[in-house]
Chains A and B, each alone.
Chain A
Amino acid sequence: MKTNENLPETEGSPLSLRRTVWNPYLVGAGIGILSWLAFLLVDKPVGMSTEVSKFSGWAASIFVGWDSVTNNAYWAGKTPAFGYSTVFLLFTGLGAFISAYFGKDLSFEPVPSVWEKYQGPGVAKRQVAAFLGGAILLYGARMAGGCTSGHGISGTMQLALSSWVFFPVMFVTGIITARLLFRNKGTSN
Protein backbone atom coordinates (compact mmCIF):
# COMPACT_ATOMS: atom_id res chain seq x y z
CA MET A 1 0.00 0.00 0.00
CA LYS A 2 1.52 3.23 -1.16
CA THR A 3 0.66 6.28 0.89
CA ASN A 4 1.82 9.84 0.63
CA GLU A 5 4.44 10.90 3.14
CA ASN A 6 3.16 13.62 5.43
CA LEU A 7 0.18 14.68 3.39
CA PRO A 8 0.13 18.47 3.87
CA GLU A 9 -2.81 19.99 5.72
CA THR A 10 -4.00 21.83 2.66
CA GLU A 11 -3.90 18.99 0.14
CA GLY A 12 -6.37 16.24 -0.54
CA SER A 13 -9.85 15.85 0.86
CA PRO A 14 -10.32 17.10 4.44
CA LEU A 15 -11.77 13.66 5.14
CA SER A 16 -9.01 11.62 3.49
CA LEU A 17 -8.13 8.54 5.56
CA ARG A 18 -4.50 9.23 4.72
CA ARG A 19 -4.53 12.39 6.77
CA THR A 20 -3.31 11.71 10.29
CA VAL A 21 -5.53 14.45 11.69
CA TRP A 22 -8.92 15.80 10.73
CA ASN A 23 -10.30 19.16 11.78
CA PRO A 24 -11.61 18.67 15.36
CA TYR A 25 -14.82 20.57 14.65
CA LEU A 26 -15.52 18.25 11.71
CA VAL A 27 -14.80 15.23 13.91
CA GLY A 28 -17.12 16.59 16.59
CA ALA A 29 -19.90 17.22 14.07
CA GLY A 30 -19.36 13.67 12.79
CA ILE A 31 -19.81 12.23 16.28
CA GLY A 32 -22.94 14.37 16.69
CA ILE A 33 -24.41 13.03 13.45
CA LEU A 34 -23.40 9.51 14.49
CA SER A 35 -25.54 10.04 17.58
CA TRP A 36 -28.53 11.01 15.43
CA LEU A 37 -28.14 7.77 13.50
CA ALA A 38 -27.81 5.74 16.71
CA PHE A 39 -31.04 7.23 18.07
CA LEU A 40 -32.89 6.99 14.78
CA LEU A 41 -31.83 3.52 13.65
CA VAL A 42 -31.60 1.52 16.88
CA ASP A 43 -32.86 3.93 19.57
CA LYS A 44 -29.70 3.34 21.58
CA PRO A 45 -27.26 6.10 22.52
CA VAL A 46 -23.51 5.60 22.17
CA GLY A 47 -21.84 4.22 25.31
CA MET A 48 -18.74 2.24 26.16
CA SER A 49 -18.04 1.60 29.85
CA THR A 50 -20.99 -0.75 30.43
CA GLU A 51 -19.60 -2.90 27.67
CA VAL A 52 -16.06 -2.85 29.07
CA SER A 53 -17.45 -3.97 32.44
CA LYS A 54 -18.93 -7.00 30.67
CA PHE A 55 -15.36 -8.00 29.87
CA SER A 56 -14.77 -7.80 33.63
CA GLY A 57 -17.61 -10.26 34.09
CA TRP A 58 -16.21 -12.61 31.49
CA ALA A 59 -12.73 -12.38 33.00
CA ALA A 60 -14.07 -13.04 36.50
CA SER A 61 -16.00 -16.08 35.27
CA ILE A 62 -12.72 -17.72 34.28
CA PHE A 63 -11.66 -17.74 37.92
CA VAL A 64 -14.87 -18.06 39.91
CA GLY A 65 -17.22 -19.66 37.40
CA TRP A 66 -20.21 -18.32 35.52
CA ASP A 67 -22.70 -18.90 38.35
CA SER A 68 -20.77 -16.72 40.76
CA VAL A 69 -20.73 -13.93 38.20
CA THR A 70 -24.45 -14.05 37.46
CA ASN A 71 -25.19 -14.27 41.20
CA ASN A 72 -23.30 -11.05 41.78
CA ALA A 73 -25.75 -8.21 42.41
CA TYR A 74 -24.14 -5.97 39.78
CA TRP A 75 -23.82 -8.48 36.94
CA ALA A 76 -27.25 -9.92 37.73
CA GLY A 77 -28.57 -6.55 36.52
CA LYS A 78 -26.19 -6.24 33.58
CA THR A 79 -25.52 -9.82 32.53
CA PRO A 80 -22.44 -10.03 30.32
CA ALA A 81 -23.75 -11.09 26.92
CA PHE A 82 -22.43 -10.70 23.40
CA GLY A 83 -24.62 -8.26 21.53
CA TYR A 84 -25.02 -4.88 19.91
CA SER A 85 -22.60 -3.04 22.21
CA THR A 86 -19.96 -5.76 21.93
CA VAL A 87 -20.01 -5.42 18.14
CA PHE A 88 -19.93 -1.63 18.47
CA LEU A 89 -16.86 -1.84 20.75
CA LEU A 90 -14.98 -4.28 18.51
CA PHE A 91 -15.67 -2.22 15.38
CA THR A 92 -14.64 0.97 17.15
CA GLY A 93 -11.27 -0.72 17.51
CA LEU A 94 -11.28 -1.80 13.87
CA GLY A 95 -12.19 1.72 12.73
CA ALA A 96 -9.37 3.22 14.77
CA PHE A 97 -6.97 0.64 13.36
CA ILE A 98 -7.96 1.34 9.74
CA SER A 99 -7.69 5.08 10.36
CA ALA A 100 -4.28 4.74 12.02
CA TYR A 101 -3.03 2.40 9.30
CA PHE A 102 -3.77 4.83 6.48
CA GLY A 103 -2.90 7.88 8.57
CA LYS A 104 0.42 6.39 9.70
CA ASP A 105 -0.48 6.54 13.36
CA LEU A 106 0.26 2.92 14.32
CA SER A 107 2.75 2.91 17.18
CA PHE A 108 3.84 0.61 19.99
CA GLU A 109 4.43 3.60 22.29
CA PRO A 110 5.37 1.86 25.53
CA VAL A 111 5.97 5.28 27.11
CA PRO A 112 4.20 8.35 25.65
CA SER A 113 6.28 11.51 25.32
CA VAL A 114 4.56 13.78 27.86
CA TRP A 115 4.78 11.04 30.49
CA GLU A 116 8.44 10.43 29.65
CA LYS A 117 9.30 14.09 30.02
CA TYR A 118 7.98 14.31 33.58
CA GLN A 119 8.05 10.73 34.86
CA GLY A 120 11.05 9.33 33.02
CA PRO A 121 11.50 6.66 30.35
CA GLY A 122 10.88 3.67 32.63
CA VAL A 123 8.64 1.24 30.74
CA ALA A 124 7.50 -0.72 33.80
CA LYS A 125 6.58 2.44 35.70
CA ARG A 126 4.36 3.65 32.89
CA GLN A 127 2.64 0.26 32.59
CA VAL A 128 1.91 0.19 36.34
CA ALA A 129 0.46 3.70 36.11
CA ALA A 130 -1.66 2.79 33.08
CA PHE A 131 -2.94 -0.33 34.84
CA LEU A 132 -3.86 1.60 38.00
CA GLY A 133 -5.33 4.41 35.94
CA GLY A 134 -7.47 1.97 33.99
CA ALA A 135 -8.73 0.34 37.18
CA ILE A 136 -9.57 3.69 38.80
CA LEU A 137 -11.19 4.90 35.58
CA LEU A 138 -13.59 2.03 35.17
CA TYR A 139 -14.48 1.90 38.85
CA GLY A 140 -15.43 5.57 38.66
CA ALA A 141 -17.30 5.13 35.40
CA ARG A 142 -19.44 2.37 36.89
CA MET A 143 -20.20 4.35 40.02
CA ALA A 144 -21.11 7.40 37.94
CA GLY A 145 -23.17 5.22 35.61
CA GLY A 146 -21.26 6.10 32.46
CA CYS A 147 -18.08 7.42 30.91
CA THR A 148 -17.03 10.10 28.45
CA SER A 149 -19.24 8.43 25.82
CA GLY A 150 -22.37 7.58 27.81
CA HIS A 151 -22.37 10.66 30.03
CA GLY A 152 -19.97 13.04 28.27
CA ILE A 153 -21.60 12.84 24.84
CA SER A 154 -24.86 10.87 24.90
CA GLY A 155 -26.14 12.11 28.26
CA THR A 156 -25.18 15.75 27.87
CA MET A 157 -26.86 16.00 24.46
CA GLN A 158 -30.11 14.88 26.08
CA LEU A 159 -29.59 17.53 28.77
CA ALA A 160 -29.49 14.90 31.51
CA LEU A 161 -28.74 16.40 34.92
CA SER A 162 -26.45 13.48 35.85
CA SER A 163 -24.28 14.00 32.76
CA TRP A 164 -23.87 17.73 33.25
CA VAL A 165 -22.67 16.97 36.79
CA PHE A 166 -20.28 14.29 35.49
CA PHE A 167 -18.55 16.56 32.98
CA PRO A 168 -17.24 19.40 35.20
CA VAL A 169 -16.32 17.13 38.13
CA MET A 170 -14.17 14.75 36.03
CA PHE A 171 -12.55 17.75 34.40
CA VAL A 172 -11.54 19.26 37.75
CA THR A 173 -10.11 16.04 39.25
CA GLY A 174 -8.34 15.35 35.95
CA ILE A 175 -6.69 18.76 36.08
CA ILE A 176 -5.62 18.25 39.71
CA THR A 177 -4.16 14.81 38.91
CA ALA A 178 -2.31 16.19 35.89
CA ARG A 179 -0.88 18.98 38.08
CA LEU A 180 0.56 16.37 40.43
CA LEU A 181 1.86 14.11 37.65
CA PHE A 182 3.34 16.76 35.39
CA ARG A 183 4.96 19.25 37.69
CA ASN A 184 7.30 21.64 35.98
CA LYS A 185 10.91 20.64 36.53
CA GLY A 186 12.45 23.92 35.48
CA THR A 187 12.07 23.26 31.77
CA SER A 188 9.23 25.32 30.46
CA ASN A 189 6.71 23.71 28.15
Chain B
Amino acid sequence: MNLPIPTSSTGGLVIAAILGLIFGVLLNKGRVTDYNVIVNLFRLKDFTVVKIMMTAIVVGGIGVFAMMGMGLIEGYHIKDANLLGVALGSGIFGVGMALYGYCPGTAIGAIATGRLHAIVGFFGMIVGGIAYALSYGWVKANILGVWSYGKVRIPELTGIPTGVWWVLLAAGTGALFYLIERAARSTPPRP
Protein backbone atom coordinates (compact mmCIF):
# COMPACT_ATOMS: atom_id res chain seq x y z
CA MET B 1 0.00 0.00 0.00
CA ASN B 2 1.40 3.38 -0.97
CA LEU B 3 1.26 6.11 1.64
CA PRO B 4 -0.11 8.68 1.91
CA ILE B 5 -3.50 7.54 0.68
CA PRO B 6 -5.25 10.23 -1.43
CA THR B 7 -7.92 11.92 0.74
CA SER B 8 -10.38 11.87 -2.16
CA SER B 9 -10.15 8.07 -2.60
CA THR B 10 -12.50 5.59 -0.96
CA GLY B 11 -9.65 4.46 1.28
CA GLY B 12 -9.09 8.08 2.30
CA LEU B 13 -12.74 8.48 3.25
CA VAL B 14 -12.62 5.27 5.31
CA ILE B 15 -9.61 6.64 7.17
CA ALA B 16 -11.49 9.93 7.72
CA ALA B 17 -14.32 7.94 9.27
CA ILE B 18 -12.05 5.90 11.56
CA LEU B 19 -9.95 8.85 12.69
CA GLY B 20 -13.04 11.02 13.15
CA LEU B 21 -14.71 8.32 15.25
CA ILE B 22 -11.66 8.04 17.52
CA PHE B 23 -11.36 11.83 17.76
CA GLY B 24 -15.01 12.10 18.82
CA VAL B 25 -14.63 9.43 21.50
CA LEU B 26 -11.47 11.11 22.83
CA LEU B 27 -13.09 14.56 22.96
CA ASN B 28 -16.08 13.20 24.87
CA LYS B 29 -14.07 11.03 27.27
CA GLY B 30 -11.74 13.97 27.85
CA ARG B 31 -14.85 15.97 28.89
CA VAL B 32 -14.00 18.83 26.53
CA THR B 33 -17.46 18.44 24.96
CA ASP B 34 -18.71 19.70 28.34
CA TYR B 35 -19.41 23.46 28.49
CA ASN B 36 -18.45 23.68 32.16
CA VAL B 37 -15.01 22.17 31.57
CA ILE B 38 -14.22 24.74 28.85
CA VAL B 39 -15.42 27.81 30.73
CA ASN B 40 -13.78 26.60 33.92
CA LEU B 41 -10.49 26.60 32.02
CA PHE B 42 -10.98 30.30 31.29
CA ARG B 43 -11.96 30.79 34.95
CA LEU B 44 -8.68 29.03 35.85
CA LYS B 45 -10.55 26.43 37.89
CA ASP B 46 -10.18 23.32 35.73
CA PHE B 47 -7.04 22.48 33.76
CA THR B 48 -8.37 19.42 31.95
CA VAL B 49 -8.05 21.23 28.62
CA VAL B 50 -4.43 22.16 29.31
CA LYS B 51 -3.58 18.58 30.27
CA ILE B 52 -5.15 17.18 27.11
CA MET B 53 -3.80 19.77 24.70
CA MET B 54 -0.25 19.94 26.00
CA THR B 55 0.02 16.12 26.09
CA ALA B 56 -1.37 15.95 22.54
CA ILE B 57 1.08 18.59 21.32
CA VAL B 58 4.16 17.00 22.92
CA VAL B 59 3.27 13.39 21.99
CA GLY B 60 2.08 14.37 18.52
CA GLY B 61 4.93 16.78 17.84
CA ILE B 62 7.72 14.42 18.85
CA GLY B 63 6.13 11.64 16.81
CA VAL B 64 5.73 13.81 13.72
CA PHE B 65 9.32 15.03 14.11
CA ALA B 66 10.57 11.43 14.42
CA MET B 67 8.54 10.25 11.43
CA MET B 68 9.89 13.12 9.38
CA GLY B 69 13.41 12.14 10.39
CA MET B 70 12.70 8.60 9.20
CA GLY B 71 11.40 9.93 5.90
CA LEU B 72 7.85 8.69 6.52
CA ILE B 73 6.28 12.15 6.17
CA GLU B 74 6.87 14.40 3.21
CA GLY B 75 6.77 17.80 4.83
CA TYR B 76 5.05 20.16 7.23
CA HIS B 77 1.55 21.56 6.71
CA ILE B 78 1.46 24.86 8.50
CA LYS B 79 -0.52 28.05 8.18
CA ASP B 80 0.74 31.44 7.08
CA ALA B 81 2.17 33.61 9.83
CA ASN B 82 0.20 36.71 8.85
CA LEU B 83 0.53 37.82 12.41
CA LEU B 84 -1.98 40.67 12.56
CA GLY B 85 -4.71 38.38 11.23
CA VAL B 86 -3.70 35.56 13.55
CA ALA B 87 -3.51 37.86 16.59
CA LEU B 88 -6.85 39.58 15.88
CA GLY B 89 -8.53 36.36 14.83
CA SER B 90 -7.37 34.41 17.86
CA GLY B 91 -8.40 37.28 20.12
CA ILE B 92 -11.89 37.22 18.60
CA PHE B 93 -11.87 33.42 18.80
CA GLY B 94 -11.15 33.46 22.56
CA VAL B 95 -14.12 35.77 23.20
CA GLY B 96 -16.39 33.50 21.16
CA MET B 97 -15.10 30.36 22.81
CA ALA B 98 -15.73 31.69 26.33
CA LEU B 99 -19.23 32.80 25.32
CA TYR B 100 -20.18 29.67 23.35
CA GLY B 101 -18.27 27.28 25.61
CA TYR B 102 -16.98 25.21 22.72
CA CYS B 103 -14.53 25.41 19.87
CA PRO B 104 -15.58 24.12 16.44
CA GLY B 105 -14.38 20.54 17.09
CA THR B 106 -15.79 20.16 20.60
CA ALA B 107 -19.01 21.82 19.42
CA ILE B 108 -19.54 18.99 16.93
CA GLY B 109 -19.06 16.55 19.82
CA ALA B 110 -21.41 18.47 22.12
CA ILE B 111 -24.09 18.67 19.42
CA ALA B 112 -23.93 14.90 19.03
CA THR B 113 -24.45 14.43 22.78
CA GLY B 114 -27.70 16.40 22.59
CA ARG B 115 -26.76 19.81 24.03
CA LEU B 116 -29.37 22.32 22.84
CA HIS B 117 -27.17 25.40 23.20
CA ALA B 118 -24.40 23.66 21.27
CA ILE B 119 -26.84 23.13 18.40
CA VAL B 120 -28.02 26.74 18.49
CA GLY B 121 -24.39 27.88 18.52
CA PHE B 122 -23.71 25.83 15.41
CA PHE B 123 -26.11 28.07 13.50
CA GLY B 124 -24.18 30.98 14.96
CA MET B 125 -20.98 29.46 13.55
CA ILE B 126 -22.63 29.20 10.13
CA VAL B 127 -23.52 32.90 10.31
CA GLY B 128 -19.98 33.74 11.45
CA GLY B 129 -18.60 31.86 8.46
CA ILE B 130 -20.89 33.75 6.10
CA ALA B 131 -19.91 37.06 7.71
CA TYR B 132 -16.24 36.21 7.19
CA ALA B 133 -16.78 35.28 3.55
CA LEU B 134 -18.63 38.56 2.97
CA SER B 135 -15.90 40.63 4.62
CA TYR B 136 -13.04 38.57 3.20
CA GLY B 137 -12.13 41.08 0.51
CA TRP B 138 -11.64 43.83 3.07
CA VAL B 139 -9.90 41.58 5.58
CA LYS B 140 -7.51 40.30 2.93
CA ALA B 141 -6.67 43.79 1.72
CA ASN B 142 -6.27 45.40 5.13
CA ILE B 143 -5.35 42.73 7.68
CA LEU B 144 -3.98 39.51 6.22
CA GLY B 145 -1.04 41.24 4.53
CA VAL B 146 0.19 42.96 7.70
CA TRP B 147 3.17 41.40 9.50
CA SER B 148 3.02 38.55 7.05
CA TYR B 149 5.99 36.20 7.21
CA GLY B 150 4.67 33.18 5.30
CA LYS B 151 4.82 29.61 6.53
CA VAL B 152 7.41 30.20 9.23
CA ARG B 153 8.35 27.63 11.84
CA ILE B 154 9.82 28.61 15.18
CA PRO B 155 13.06 26.59 14.63
CA GLU B 156 13.81 28.58 11.46
CA LEU B 157 12.92 31.84 13.16
CA THR B 158 15.08 31.23 16.22
CA GLY B 159 17.89 29.14 14.75
CA ILE B 160 17.28 26.58 17.51
CA PRO B 161 16.76 23.11 15.97
CA THR B 162 13.43 21.29 16.19
CA GLY B 163 14.85 18.51 18.39
CA VAL B 164 16.05 21.02 20.98
CA TRP B 165 12.65 22.68 20.98
CA TRP B 166 11.01 19.36 21.78
CA VAL B 167 13.35 18.70 24.68
CA LEU B 168 12.52 22.15 26.05
CA LEU B 169 8.78 21.85 25.43
CA ALA B 170 8.57 18.37 26.93
CA ALA B 171 10.45 19.51 30.03
CA GLY B 172 8.33 22.67 30.33
CA THR B 173 5.11 20.68 29.91
CA GLY B 174 6.23 18.18 32.55
CA ALA B 175 6.95 21.02 34.96
CA LEU B 176 3.56 22.60 34.20
CA PHE B 177 1.76 19.31 34.87
CA TYR B 178 3.65 18.91 38.14
CA LEU B 179 2.54 22.37 39.28
CA ILE B 180 -1.08 21.76 38.20
CA GLU B 181 -1.25 18.43 40.07
CA ARG B 182 0.43 19.87 43.16
CA ALA B 183 -2.00 22.79 43.24
CA ALA B 184 -4.93 20.37 42.84
CA ARG B 185 -3.74 18.32 45.83
CA SER B 186 -3.28 21.34 48.09
CA THR B 187 -6.74 22.88 47.48
CA PRO B 188 -9.98 21.16 48.43
CA PRO B 189 -12.17 20.13 45.47
CA ARG B 190 -14.62 22.79 44.38
CA PRO B 191 -18.06 22.14 42.96
Which A residues are closer than 8 A to B by beta carbons? 17, 19-22, 24-25, 27-46, 48-49, 51-53, 55-57, 59-60, 72-75, 83-85, 87-100, 103, 105-115, 126-127, 129-167, 169-178, 181-182, 189
Contact = CB atoms under 8 A, between A and B. Distances in A.
A143 B122 contact: no
A149 B112 CA distance: 18
B153 to A, nearest CB: 5
A153 B60 contact: yes
A19 B88 contact: no
Contact of A95 (B25, B131, B132): B25
State the main secondary structure of chain A at its contact with B: helix
28 contacts: A20-B29, A22-B29, A36-B67, A43-B4, A52-B104, A57-B133, A73-B137, A88-B20, A91-B21, A92-B23, A93-B108, A105-B33, A110-B116, A130-B118, A138-B96, A141-B93, A144-B90, A145-B85, A153-B60, A155-B79, A159-B61, A160-B79, A160-B153, A161-B149, A162-B83, A169-B86, A170-B97, A173-B94
A153 B16 contact: no
A53 B120 CA distance: 16
Interface string B61-93: 101100100001110111111110111111111
A48 B125 CA distance: 12
Contacts of B97: 133, 137, 148, 170, 174
B77 A35 contact: no
B39 A182 contact: yes
Given A56-B127, A95-B28, A97-B113, 11 more contacts: A30-B26, A48-B105, A49-B104, A73-B140, A97-B112, A100-B113, A145-B86, A147-B104, A170-B97, A171-B94, A178-B98
Interface residues of B, number: 128
Given A133-B101, A139-B96, A178-B98, A107 B129 contact: no
Given A88-B23, A99-B24, A112 B117 contact: yes
B130 A96 contact: no
Contacts of B29: 19-22, 27, 99, 103
Interface string B39-54: 1111111001001111
